[in-house]
């Protein structure tokens, strides 16, 4: 018996022929409706070659009360991280510590200080846009009902809002088409248990309200993207809805492109790209050192940070998403500084797990002891985004010892492992191949917040849909673009 649904009856048992028909229908619907990803570069496929995104055959079960809880917390997390981004003293303390042991954080911090010196601490644009995503896993114990625990909060390039809307639509289509059959378990699949996901339009709305706040209709939104971006179609849906719902045009450019064709007016601080004025800069790149291929690309980031365009995110908001910030915020006194309401604080704390630093503090000493005595209960995380960067369980001690210099340990945090249910089953189709097994699902909730960093006034704050990513239970990482997981949708139970 599953801890969240009767594993004996869900997903419905299908014949080999029914499974094949379902896989074909899913693949064709995906290709017809833009639920796709660019083929990997190592496949020798042409640049225009695309495949369906890895996807579950069925929506995965998720408790409705916990789903609602996660969605309800998003505006609270939005406001919390906006406040963190505005607290320069708090961020300075954290980021300078990381800059001493992390070259990428050091380079970003140098850029932040350079921009701050040039502007005299008064940026050309006070408005900041955050398109965040707070990620959760179900946590189970032998003595308590399942609960949600926060994995992390992403403040830059929170992806898959476009494709996750499509995934929910695809599963709803398959149900309406009768392709899930009538075997035991199919009775769980209903309109009311398979919600529409508004994430693509929700994130586009965030960009739209920021563009409106800038106040010049003909200016564009500049999508900063990676060259030959595999996940371009996820981003395209935001562009399409931004045009459809707000009449706002978007232009895509890499940091290399912006270095060559971007212009900053030294007087008005207006940003232009290929002669077109920019109202909003939306980063879907710039979160990894690999994106900065030359001094010119760092100059492109500097040009945008100095501009009057609204940044999503600003450098300060980028720093707010560091794993170190997440670790510090679990401290009651620190959290109380940003969230004075005790009841609201408790709601947030109920989603936290233990996170420890690897410094010389008492907590840091405790972390070192835990690494030696029970590493199987923890995951080691660097200050990186993009998937594939974490070190799990028994691999942690050897990994840290291989760093040689123990001062580098301070660039990591040690996080208690969340224990999701291990007996939920589903099938994943990847590159046309269907594989069945036990799975683990991670829920991400998108949020949009627009605020004035000078007055600290929140202009807009709303939850903007969700993402469900599912991987096989024996896989440690879960990134879809990184090749570990799949897109999914929720079956509310």
| 267 token code pair | 């007087």
Residues with Cβ within 8 Å of residue 66, at least 6 apart in sequence: 138, 146, 147, 148
* Selected catalytic residue, list 201, 272, 303, 323: 323
Asked whether 170 and 179 are in contact (CB, 8 A), the reply is no
- Catalytic (active site) residue 152: yes
β-pairing, 250-253 with 220-224? parallel
* Selected catalytic residue, list 229, 385, 442, 463: 385
* Selected catalytic residue, list 18, 97, 152, 419: 152
Widest pairwise Cα distance in the chain: 69
* Selected catalytic residue, list 230, 303, 308, 381: 381
* Selected catalytic residue, list 157, 159, 186, 489: 159
Closest CA to 100 of 326, 412, 408: 408
How many Cα neighbours within 13 Å face the side chain of 180?
Answer: 24
Closest CA to 319 of 482, 92, 75: 92
Angle (CA) 484-399-287 rounded to 5° is 50
427-456 in b/e form (b: 16+ CB < 10 A) is bbbbeeeeeeeebbbbbbbbbbbbbbbeee
Closest CA to 105 of 363, 378, 367, 408: 408
Find the helix packing angle between 199-214 and 232-246, rounded to 10°: 60
- Catalytic (active site) residue 368: no
* Selected catalytic residue, list 79, 130, 133, 478: 133
* Selected catalytic residue, list 50, 78, 147, 154: 154
Asked whether 484 and 442 are in contact (CB, 8 A), the reply is no
Distances (CA, A) of 25 to 19, 47, 175, 303: 10, 25, 11, 47
Closest CA to 84 of 348, 281, 282: 348
- Catalytic (active site) residue 411: no
Residues with Cβ within 8 Å of residue 157, at least 6 apart in sequence: 283, 284, 285, 286, 287, 385
* Selected catalytic residue, list 469, 471, 478, 489: 469
The residues that bridge with 223 in the sheet, in sequence order, are 252, 282
- Catalytic (active site) residue 384: no
Closest CA to 194 of 76, 366, 58: 58
- Catalytic (active site) residue 332: no
Cis peptide before 11 (omega within 30 of 0): yes
- Catalytic (active site) residue 154: yes
Asked whether 310 and 129 are in contact (CB, 8 A), the reply is yes
* Selected catalytic residue, list 34, 299, 364, 386: 386
Q: How many residues does the chain have?
A: 493
| Active-site annotation, residues | 133, 152, 154, 159, 323, 381, 385-386, 469
């Amino acid at each position: 018996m599953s801890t969240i649904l009767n594993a004996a009856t869900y997903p419905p048992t299908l014949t080999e022929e029914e499974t094949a028909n379902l896989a074909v229908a899913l693949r064709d619907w995906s290709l017809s409706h833009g639920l796709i990803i660019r083929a990997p570069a190592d496949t020798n496929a042409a640049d225009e070659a695309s495949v369906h995104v890895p996807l579950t055959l069925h929506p995965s079960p998720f408790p409705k009360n916990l789903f609602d809880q996660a969605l309800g917390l998003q505006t609270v997390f939005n406001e919390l991280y906006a406040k963190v981004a505005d607290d320069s003293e708090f961020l300075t303390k954290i980021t300078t510590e990381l800059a001493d042991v992390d070259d990428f954080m050091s380079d970003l911090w140098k850029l932040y200080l350079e921009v701050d010196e040039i502007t005299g601490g008064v940026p050309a644009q006070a408005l900041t846009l955050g398109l965040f995503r707070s990620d959760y896993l179900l946590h189970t114990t032998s003595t308590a009902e399942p609960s949600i625990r926060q994995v992390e909060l992403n403040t830059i390039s929170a992806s898959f809002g476009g494709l996750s809307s499509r995934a929910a639509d695809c599963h709803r289509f398959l149900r309406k088409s009768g392709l899930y059959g009538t075997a035991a378990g199919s009775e769980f699949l209903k309109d009311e248990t398979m919600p529409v996901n508004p994430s693509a339009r929700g994130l586009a709305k965030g960009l739209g309200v920021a563009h409106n706040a800038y106040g010049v209709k003909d200016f564009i939104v500049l999508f900063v993207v990676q060259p030959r971006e595999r996940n371009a179609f996820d981003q395209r849906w935001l562009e399409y809805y931004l045009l459809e719902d707000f009449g706002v045009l978007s232009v895509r450019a890499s940091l290399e492109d912006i270095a060559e064709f971007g212009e900053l007016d030294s007087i008005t601080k207006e940003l232009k790209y290929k002669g077109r004025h920019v109202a909003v800069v939306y980063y879907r790149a710039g979160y990894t050192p690999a994106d900065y291929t030359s001094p010119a690309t760092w100059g492109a980031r500097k040009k945008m940070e100095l501009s009057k365009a609204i940044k999503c995110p600003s450098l300060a908001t980028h720093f707010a998403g560091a794993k170190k910030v997440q670790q510090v915020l679990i401290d009651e006194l620190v959290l109380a500084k940003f969230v004075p309401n005790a009841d609201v604080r408790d709601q947030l704390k109920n989603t936290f797990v233990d996170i420890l630093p690897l410094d010389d503090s008492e907590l840091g000493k405790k972390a070192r002891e835990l690494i030696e005595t029970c590493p199987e209960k923890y995951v080691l995380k660097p200050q990186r985004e993009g998937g594939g960067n974490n070190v799990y369980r028994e691999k942690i001690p050897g990994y840290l010892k291989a760093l040689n210099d123990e001062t580098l340990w301070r660039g990591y945090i040690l996080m208690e492992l969340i224990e999701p249910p291990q007996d939920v089953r589903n099938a994943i189709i990847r590159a046309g191949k269907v594989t069945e097994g036990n799975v683990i699902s991670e829920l991400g909730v998108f949020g949009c917040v627009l605020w004035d960093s000078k007055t600290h006034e929140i202009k807009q704050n709303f939850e903007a849909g969700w993402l469900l990513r599912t991987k096989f239970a024996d896989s440690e990482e879960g990134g879809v673009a990184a090749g570990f997981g799949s897109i999914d949708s929720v079956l509310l139970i």
